[in-house]
Amino acid sequence: MPVALSPSGHLDSFARDHLPPPESWPDLRLAEAGLSYPERLNCVSELLDRHVTEGRGARTAIVAPGLAWSYAELAAQVNRIANVLTRDLGLVPGNRVLLRAANTPMMVASYLAVLKAGGVAVATMPMLRAGELVYPIRKASIALALCDHRLLPDLQAAQAQAPELARIICWGDGGAESLETLMAQPGYEGFAAAATASDDVCLIGFTSGTTGEPKGTMHFHRDLLAICDAYGARVLQASPDDRFIGSPPLAFTFGLGGLVLFPMRIGATMILPEKAGPPDLIDAIERYRASVCFTAPTAYRAMLDRLDGRDVSSLRICVSAGEALPKPTFEAWLAKTGLMLMDGIGATEMLHIFIGAPRDRIRPGATGLPVPGYEARIIDAEGRELPDGTPGRLAVRGPTGCRYLADPRQANYVLDGWNVTGDTYLRDADGYFWYQARNDDMIVSAGYNIAGPEVEVCLLTHPSVAECGVVGAPDPERGQIVKAYVVLREGVQPGPELVKALQDHVKAGIAPYKYPRAIEIVAALPKTPTGKLQRFALRQMARGQA
């Protein structure tokens, strides 16, 4: 269907000029989702300023070590940074701004300031190195960066390779040209939000590159509200008294939604600990009495062995996404905490979660139901819908959808108006969706189709296994065999007897033909900066290419 965009509020038209051709977009179904936004919209006015003007400015917005900002104080910081951006740094609506920091209050304020000033935020993972930063700088034609001074060296090294990045402003170093010094200038207290269109691009999120060169996903001001008003309101169902915490970086849209957008939409509190590894997360939950947690399945599993003697009773909602949630992890978390993990699948292309059941409708082992406002179906290679119980490609559509930044791979993701995510799922007769594998994670061995994640789930039920990854390895007789890479729990000794025990465990738990004919014990699994298992790296290892 033709796409009609509102008149843009951007003076720099780069983002709109580099949207994919309208005919290649997915169907964006806001009205069908029961969502409506005005033509002129700056999302920060709704997410932040509204709380101040409606009398909720004293509510706590952010808590971090040694710091607590109310909504009014956060708004003041955002206004000062927005003035620096426009008055001192020459930003005009539509300019892209690279953001580089961990999950800190200044990162949140800087992100919101870019959006309020009409800019386009391009947040980057703190773990990225110089060579990895060059690509988004060039792809999004970025001339300005705001950076935590502790992460400056890699950004400066990237700047040497990508001179498009003309200026870097740091915070935290106390220098004469630091962001804090510029913010302190008189007359920077107020700032009127840029008159952007609801369908002006406000962020470009780069994918984690698990399947090759990262792709820049473009999202509108209205999209940031849509995920709050769909998943946040209809599935998560948190309250303004909740305190949100988690580990995903804000450059990962799972983290942006779960740790910033969802709490801000309802006037709740964000907790931003300095570190968010599993031990640190437990410490912060206990110290700050967090009630809503967003993190990946691997983190929940890692926290399990550390919960004894800890008080995490403040938790009431735990969301798991970023990778498939193994049922053993779900069951172990429930047994330890009394809480059911809320599984969900999202995508950077879709901005956030689009399948996930509310707490009263969770079905253990299933990802869940389409988020109200989204539709999902299972299709074959030609796009035809498959009957319930038949594995196939997951397709979804709703108020958000894929728009790649000048990338021919748009044609691979969108088919007949549907976003095709690259996941193999099946839908049961009750409408629940059950994860099988990534489309490229299916192992074909001697004519059998074997889903690597199913074997992983079975291995994880063995008491010796801490983590594992399963892929196909080349085999002259079978084409492929199932190969498992296993990280053992502390104190467990590797050896042939353990390998056989693990193989027998799988044979007893699922169909015997699925057992891993090869098991390699490793110290760690390859992962992305967001904590996702890099199965393509395991496949390279299995082919002897690592």
**pLDDT tens digits for 427-448?**
999 999 999 877 767 787 876 6
Taking the mean position of all CA atoms in its chain, how far away is CA 412?
21
Taking the mean position of all CA atoms in its chain, how far away is CA 362?
21
For residues 225 and 163, membership in a common domain is answered with: no
Instruction: Find the angle CA(18)-CA(24)-CA(26) to the nearest 5 degrees.
Output: 105
Cβ distance 146 to 177 under 8 Å?
no
For residues 383 and 494, membership in a common domain is answered with: no
Share of the chain above pLDDT 90, in %: 84
pLDDT of residue 439: 72
Q: What is the mean pLDDT of residues 95-103?
A: 98
Share of the chain above pLDDT 70, in %: 98
Task: Name which residue leads in pLDDT, 224 or 449.
Answer: 224
- Least confident segment among 58-62, 152-156, 195-199, 509-513: 509-513
Percentage helix, strand, coil, to 5, in the chain?
35, 25, 40
For residues 296 and 255, membership in a common domain is answered with: yes
Which amino acid is present at 511?
A: A
For residues 288 and 393, membership in a common domain is answered with: yes
Contacts of 153 (CB under 8 A, 6+ apart): none
For residues 95 and 148, membership in a common domain is answered with: yes
Check which CATH number belongs to the domain holding 490 and give it: 3.30.300.30
State pTM to two decimals. 0.86
Residue 200 and residue 43: Cα distance in Å, rounded? 10
Write out the H or E segment, with its range, that includes residue 161: helix 152-161
For residues 488 and 504, membership in a common domain is answered with: yes
Check which CATH number belongs to the domain holding 147 and give it: 3.40.50.980
Domain around 98: 42-195
By the 10 Å C-beta count (0-12 exposed, 13-18 middle, 19+ buried), 297 is classed as buried
Instruction: Find the angle CA(357)-CA(362)-CA(365) to the nearest 5 degrees.
Output: 105
Which amino acid is present at 309?
A: G
> What's the farthest any 2 CA atoms get from each other in the chain?
75
pLDDT of residue 2: 58
- Least confident segment among 42-46, 399-403, 449-453: 449-453
Residue 521 and residue 495: Cα distance in Å, rounded? 9
Q: What is the mean pLDDT of residues 368-380?
A: 98
pLDDT of residue 347: 93
Q: What is the mean pLDDT of residues 273-296?
A: 96
For residues 494 and 366, membership in a common domain is answered with: no
Contacts of 378 (CB under 8 A, 6+ apart): 385, 386, 390, 391, 392, 393, 394, 395, 425, 426, 427
For residues 113 and 144, membership in a common domain is answered with: yes
Token pair in block for residue 435: 């994860």
